[in-house]
Amino acid sequence: MDFQGIEMEEVFNPSVISPAKPVVLVVDDDEGIRDTLEAILTKDYTVIKAKDGRAALRLIDEKEVQVMLLDIRLPDINGLDVLKRVKERYDDIEVAMITAIKEIDTAVKAMKLGAYDYITKEFDYDEVVNLVRHIIEKQNLTKELIYLQSEMDQYVPHDFIMGKSLKMRQVYDVVQKIAKVPANVLITGETGTGKEVIARLIHRESNTPQGPFVAVNLASIPYDLLESTLFGHERGAFTGAYRRRHGKFELANGGTLFLDEISELKYDLQVKILRSIQEGEIERVGGNRPININVRIIAATNADLEQAVKKGTFREDLYYRLNVIPIKIPPLRERAVDIPELITFFLAKYSKRFNKKVTKVTNPALKVLFSYHWPGNVRELENLIERLVATIEGDTIGESHIPIDYYFPDNESSWDGLKGEDFLKKACDTFERNFILKALERVKWNRKEAAKNLGLPRSTFKYKLLKLNIYDFLHEKKEDGEEEEEDEE
């Protein structure tokens, strides 16, 4: 390998490059310029040097370079050509050009090609130090934003499922209207409806999506730790407080604080939360100095806060401070039209996670899912699809794959209009159908064995299978390749 142009003592001495310091590559054919820039920067950065373009290009392949100070005029390759090759191969390396006064126009051209800035040959100490410091700060900020975005993406995918239902479209419209307004929001809805997902969506669509999103489940934190968790504490504030700790309010400064299960907050802490909202400041436990904060609060609850206010368990003034913009998330049973779209999304999500290709759900299976009451809402549906994708063979979820529990029509609307004998008949048929399904499941869908276990003649058992619409079940089992014994005529 040709190492011509590389100053060997600077490149191959392992004690020179410290991983703790950003690496700056100086490329100039003037040894005096190289040595001067090294002397200026060596305190805070690891400096490596090259005297021509070919050497510089080899170095960036070998070293993790953050900044390149690049002379426009080099003996072998034009500096602009070096810049182009660097940006093609390592776009994250920031390049500042070194130019003579008479070459300013060329330096401007270099910036159009991706250079960060330029300095002249008559540079001074502060100019160089400030330039490199600004570049490193920019790179660190970019890394931080990438990290925050990755954190957001795991909770709020870009393909956020709004659904086709009118109620969810109304929710989404409200989110779009208020996201950029820094007012507090109160999200209500049953467990599993996706309150935190909506809160994260509001944050993502706000004017400060780059700010932190800090979520706190108030019901999951022991009472004696809650104040410290929210407001932080000073060293020595209580037994075990060996160092200062920042609370959730401080961590969320400049962003959004999501207070889940706000109805679980004890009365004394409600007063502290109210003061924090009103004054825009907090005090750590054991502290005596106010700390200014700028936080948007999004609270959520599955309880009726208005009733809690009437009962005196929740402060009325805090309720109105939180309830500036109310958003109510409908339960899944009230937007069943969204189920197919949600299923499609979850199938794709968990097929990717489990490296499988489950892409379809049969109409009989969908019919079962539509008739179910979904007390656990979207979260329960997601858990079911995750379980099915993980366990089934093939690419299709059929009716026979749906757990028996989902066949009980506990949706009250399916019983509307039934009276007297009709109501009793439907209840009996529902019980009988699910009892037979459980009997079939125990013997791996062998009808002869199931009839025997139930003490029924084959003809009677066949009649019940027809009457209770169980044959679709058995047909799917046969399509799935499982053995099915034919009925005797």
Kindly report the CATH number assigned to the domain that includes residue 441: 1.10.8.60
Same domain for 76 and 13, yes or no, is: yes
Asked which of 88, 119, 148 is the last residue of a domain, the reply is: 148
- Is 489 within a domain? no
- Give the CATH number, domain containing residue 276: 3.40.50.300
- Tell me what pLDDT residue 11 has: 37
- Tell me what pLDDT residue 99 has: 85
The pTM assigned to this predicted structure is 0.58
Same domain for 112 and 186, yes or no, is: no
CA nearest 305: which of 319, 292, 291? 319
- Tell me what pLDDT residue 15 has: 33
Distances (CA, A) of 330 to 17, 187, 190, 335, 381: 58, 11, 8, 7, 15
CA nearest 384: which of 347, 438, 329? 347
From CA 343, how far away is CA 161, in angstroms rounded? 10
Same domain for 408 and 425, yes or no, is: yes
Alpha-carbon Rg for the chain, nearest whole angstrom, is 33
Q: Cβ of 373: how many Cβ atoms within 10 Å?
A: 17
- Tell me what pLDDT residue 472 has: 62
- Tell me what pLDDT residue 439 has: 83
The distance between the two most distant Cα atoms of the chain, rounded to a whole number of Å, is 104
Same domain for 121 and 189, yes or no, is: no
H or E element in which residue 78 lies: none
- Is 240 within a domain? yes
- Tell me what pLDDT residue 260 has: 95
Asked which of 278, 301, 330 is the last residue of a domain, the reply is: 330
- Is 156 within a domain? no
Decide: 320 and 297 in contact? Cβ < 8 Å.
no
- Is 44 within a domain? yes
Q: Which residues face 480 on adjacent strands? A: none
Same domain for 342 and 321, yes or no, is: no
- Is 118 within a domain? yes
From CA 156, how far away is CA 150, in angstroms rounded? 10
Q: Could you give the angle at which helices 458-467 and 447-454 cross, rounded to 10 degrees?
A: 110
- Is 157 within a domain? no
Mean pLDDT of residues grouped by 10 in the chain (489 residues)?
Answer: 40 35 90 92 92 91 86 90 87 86 77 87 88 86 56 48 85 92 94 92 89 90 90 83 81 90 92 93 84 91 94 94 95 92 92 92 89 91 94 88 74 50 66 79 84 89 84 58 46
Same domain for 369 and 463, yes or no, is: yes
- Tell me what pLDDT residue 158 has: 46
Same domain for 13 and 108, yes or no, is: yes
- Tell me what pLDDT residue 382 has: 93
- Give the CATH number, domain containing residue 143: 3.40.50.2300
Same domain for 314 and 375, yes or no, is: no
Same domain for 355 and 467, yes or no, is: yes
- Is 45 within a domain? yes
- Tell me what pLDDT residue 473 has: 60
* Residues recorded for the chain: 489
Asked which of 330, 353, 381 is the last residue of a domain, the reply is: 330
- Tell me what pLDDT residue 423 has: 56
Task: Indicate if the alpha-carbon torsion angle 453, 457, 459, 465 is positive or negative.
Answer: negative
Domain span including residue 281: 166-330
Same domain for 125 and 224, yes or no, is: no
Burial of 21 (0-12, 13-18, 19+ CB in 10 A): middle
Decide: 298 and 199 in contact? Cβ < 8 Å.
yes
Same domain for 295 and 187, yes or no, is: yes
Q: What's the total number of domains in the chain? A: 3
**pLDDT digits over 61-97, tens only?**
877 788 999 998 899 998 899 999 998 877 778 999 9
- Tell me what pLDDT residue 153 has: 47
Same domain for 192 and 218, yes or no, is: yes
- Is 486 within a domain? no
